[in-house]
Amino acid sequence: MDQTYQVAGMNDPATYLSWGWLSISLPNLIVIVLMVVLFVLAIVLPFPKDRDQS
Amino acid sequence: MTTTRPAADTTPSPPIPDSAESPMWTSRLRRAWLAKLPPDKLLPDRQPAYVASWIYVFGVLTLAAFLVIVVSGLALAFAGPAWYHTSSLGHFTNSLHFWSVQLFFVFMVIHLWGKFWMAAWRGRRAMTWITGVVAFLASIGTAFTGYLMQTNFDSQWISFEAKDGLNAVGIGAFFNVTNLGQVLLLHACLLPLVVGAIVVWHVLLVRRHGVVPPIDAVPVTQPADTIGDPEVPR
């Protein structure tokens, strides 16, 4: 099995991160962080103006 | 040899009732539809100024991802696992289906957060909010059955974990997640229709009631040069 496939492969168990009672898989954590970052950017970043209004 | 035309029928035909007054159910349905959702609301060419924000993009991004899911899913259904498990194009289409589902959920969750924090059920939009929630729940069921029909160790693990969970809440007798035939039909036939119908209903409600304004939006009746002036009532 080549390295590229192993990174995105789903036939192996995921890496789990644990802090006390909290346990979460690395793929789930990445997706949650990605969603939060996208949500903040969607609020903060200015939307391009319509060419008719400029 | 000569032929003669039959004489024209000069009997006056009965008057056709105006469609605005016709008692036919088709006419009544059309009038009711047009009253609730006229064409300029169904397919508008302008949107309010507050829609010019990235947070308003995620609803249509979810729809775009859903379209990719449906098209790639149709290809998978027609060609079958003998194609998508063995050929390069089949692998690609299978992956396209999987990753568009990931994007669908990412976009839908951000859409949900945005609408929650702007209280999008305001202004008689409760049913729009409810259909969105039901679409989300139905999508989870559709994605779950999709994971179950991968026919690999991952799906085997998920199905046996889910079986215990469903048995624990008392519905294991009605929904056997280890029955691949049942899961396949639910995922490919029933649930996509359910999600599609709810999404269409949701979008029609958005078109009917309009995109929800931000909580502090100023009505357009206020002159632009007085916006922000505390002395001027809204």
Inter-chain touch A39–B113, beta carbons under 8 Å: yes
Given a cut of 60, is residue A12 above it in pLDDT? Answer: yes
Q: Are A47 and A34 contacting, i.e. CB atoms less than 8 angstroms apart?
A: no
Inter-chain touch B110–A10, beta carbons under 8 Å: no
Domain with A10 in it: 3-43
CA distance B146 to chain A (A): 14
Tell whether A39 is within 8 A of chain B (Cβ).
yes
**Chain B residues within 8 A of A34 when measuring between CB atoms:** 106
Where are chain B's structural domains? 52-103, 119-211
Q: Say if A53 falls within a structural domain.
A: no
Overall domain count for chain A: 1
CA angle A44, A46, A51 (to 5 degrees): 165
How many angstroms separate the CA atoms of B155 and B158, rounded?
A: 5
How many angstroms separate the CA atoms of B160 and B164, rounded?
A: 7
Q: Say if A48 falls within a structural domain.
A: no
Q: Say if A51 falls within a structural domain.
A: no
Instruction: Name the amino acid, one letter, at B70.
Output: V
CA distance A35 to chain B (A): 6
Kindly provide the residue ranges of all beta strands, DSSP E only, lying in chain B, ordered along the sequence: none
CA distance A34 to chain B (A): 8
Q: Say if A52 falls within a structural domain.
A: no
Q: Say if A49 falls within a structural domain.
A: no
Among the residue ranges B60-64, B147-151, B173-177, B198-202, the one predicted with the least confidence is: B173-177
Question: For residue B106, what pLDDT is reported?
Answer: 97
Can you tell me the mean pLDDT for B14-27?
75
**Chain B residues within 8 A of A40 when measuring between CB atoms:** none
pLDDT over 90 for what percent of chain B?
A: 62
Among the residue ranges B7-16, B77-86, B90-99, B162-171, the one predicted with the least confidence is: B7-16
Given a cut of 50, is residue B148 above it in pLDDT? Answer: yes
**Chain B residues within 8 A of A43 when measuring between CB atoms:** 53-55
Per residue in B40-78, pLDDT (tens digit) is: 888 888 888 888 899 999 999 999 999 999 999 999 999
Class of the CATH domain delimited by B119-211: mainly alpha
Neighbours of B49 (CB within 10 A): 13
